[in-house]
Structure 1
């Protein structure tokens, strides 16, 4: 990959501005693309229920705010999220395959997936075996993604590359194609547990991969940047990249998501600012 060219293009698109009359629409699109996430050891059923309530109605004080795309939790809390979100249209995503490290036997990883699917998860976010990938055992990584895809049944599969550990853009490109070839419905940048997480250049590269996949096969696959996207300004930069690199077809939660925990609050505050004409502070939105 041309590192300089990729980073320059990402930086250039990152300076694009959105006209004021389009900003509210962009904010609503971004809200609808959020995978509202809690992936902490201290997570409780109560916290997940509160998160699900926020996912359904992100800003109860205002009409017209779209629900988020999904709530993302650990597999042992998937059933709680399913019970809270039934009939709402908000999906339940569960991390699996020994998230975030991916360090477990394949049988353990598949059992994790099967448990989440049995609990009703609509989407599975798996992590690839970065050790195997970096050692050049691409066939092993491919076979594992295929096995997880089969275990997903009707659930959609997001394949987390953990790009911060892949070291080079060439590796990110190779891993993206490997995941697409093995059946991943989405390619996802990061677990959010490793720095750097999502970056615009890496997301550009992954958007190029799904665009090229569409051109080669006619199939549409999604991209999910996750980790470190906290502001409305950043989210809009990513939406510009989606439109310019992959195309307007990808400006939908079916094909683009934000993996985030704090981004939603800033989107809601900026949305109120657009409607009120003055800044609304964090005290006006629900605490996660």
Structure 2
């Protein structure tokens, strides 16, 4: 399967319709932090990929990447340049040296604020690359509820086919699982046919047990993806958090038969880190979660380091960063 064939699979995946809130299930979730941290520490320590296999895995990481710009200084020009990069994330001469010029390498999606959705949709027309919009009062999730719903509907109307929402963290911190469930279910309804990626802001949830419970409730409410972070928190994606969320995805699949995607975001800046996340997905969830329909990496600066590693594999030399410019 070429990398280009990986795109568009999400529309063929049976969506998670959600299930009624099961408080007994939620109450049963307990996470041993020290055990989770020990298990997560084994991933980069004992699993590595080298040489041509590393290059192949890095190309897969690009295919699973949500190329993102969420700056207050975003302009239409910035977004158009980002979309051009999304279409051709690796220079053609590097792909040719790797024997990968026919793979149709491109990213999993482009993620922008609502105001930039029409620009991104226009710039990506015909590419098959979806546009994702952050919504629901991103990044804090504290704007009026009706306003958050309107923002989701407006982004969908503007052409976004994926919506990254943020939850009200207070619902988790106070254990109000019914309120969290109802909030996410309303967001899912507002998304319509667009896929819902639910950001838990795990660095603000206090405990790994809360992360596990929030993950389960989000999936019960109909999330298509669960996502770690906005990228704006002090602590973003970590492997112990990833382990907890991945195991909740597996538990949900075992109980319901529905597959839910996973997206770590924030602080993932190096090619080595992207490999660690791919290894986590493969070991905990299997090969299906190495495809963009079920796995995304939220990233803005990650692509530059992956390009440098690919060029080193192809030529034996590390190129200067400005040879792989980002918008």
Q: Which residue of 2 aligns with 1:37?
A: 68
CA deviations over 1:128-164 (Å, ceiling 9, x no partner): 0002221222211111111110111110000000000
The reply to whether residue 7 of structure 1 matches residue 48 of structure 2 is no
Shift of 1:84: 0.7
CA deviations over 1:61-117 (Å, ceiling 9, x no partner): 334361000110001111110011111011100000000000012100000001100
Which residue among 210, 215, 219 is the counterpart of 1:171? 210
SS at match of 1:151: helix
Q: Which residue of 1 aligns with 2:262?
A: 223
Distance of 1:9 and 1:212 partners within structure 2 = 18
CA deviations over 1:165-192 (Å, ceiling 9, x no partner): 0010000000000100000000000000
Shift of 1:195: 1.5
For these two proteins, the number of residue pairs brought into alignment is 288
Shift of 1:228: 0.2
Please show how residues 140-179 of structure 1 align to structure 2 within 5 Å. 140-179=179-218
Distance of 2:89 and 2:73 partners within structure 1 = 23
CA deviations over 1:38-78 (Å, ceiling 9, x no partner): 11111111100110000011124334361000110001111
The reply to whether residue 104 of structure 1 matches residue 143 of structure 2 is yes
Q: Tell whether the 8 Å contact from 1:123 to 1:157 is kept in structure 2 after alignment.
A: yes
Q: Which residue of 2 aligns with 1:199?
A: 238
Q: Which residue of 2 aligns with 1:56?
A: 87
Distance of 2:319 and 2:149 partners within structure 1 = 45
Distance of 2:51 and 2:324 partners within structure 1 = 22
SS at match of 2:92: coil
Which residue among 178, 195, 213 is the counterpart of 1:139? 178
Distance of 1:17 and 1:281 partners within structure 2 = 25
Q: Tell whether the 8 Å contact from 1:54 to 1:286 is kept in structure 2 after alignment.
A: no
Runs of at least 4 residues off by over 2 Å? 59-65
Distance of 1:135 and 1:213 partners within structure 2 = 23
Distance of 1:93 and 1:127 partners within structure 2 = 14
Which residue among 134, 140, 158 is the counterpart of 1:95? 134
Distance of 1:186 and 1:118 partners within structure 2 = 21
Distance of 1:122 and 1:272 partners within structure 2 = 33
Which residue among 278, 298, 301 is the counterpart of 1:262? 301
SS at match of 1:94: strand
Q: Which residue of 1 aligns with 2:221?
A: 182
Q: Which runs of 5+ in 1 are unaligned?
A: none
Q: Tell whether the 8 Å contact from 1:33 to 1:253 is kept in structure 2 after alignment.
A: yes
Q: Which residue of 1 aligns with 2:323?
A: 284
Distance of 1:134 and 1:5 partners within structure 2 = 22
Q: Which residue of 2 aligns with 1:66?
A: 105
The reply to whether residue 210 of structure 1 matches residue 249 of structure 2 is yes
Distance of 2:48 and 2:173 partners within structure 1 = 38
Q: Over aligned residues, Cα RMSD in angstroms?
A: 1.0
Distance of 2:164 and 2:306 partners within structure 1 = 24
> Greater relative contact order: 1 or 2 (C-alpha under 8 angstroms, separation 6 or more)?
2
Shift of 1:248: 1.4
Q: Which residue of 2 aligns with 1:116?
A: 155
SS at match of 1:66: coil
Distance of 1:219 and 1:142 partners within structure 2 = 17
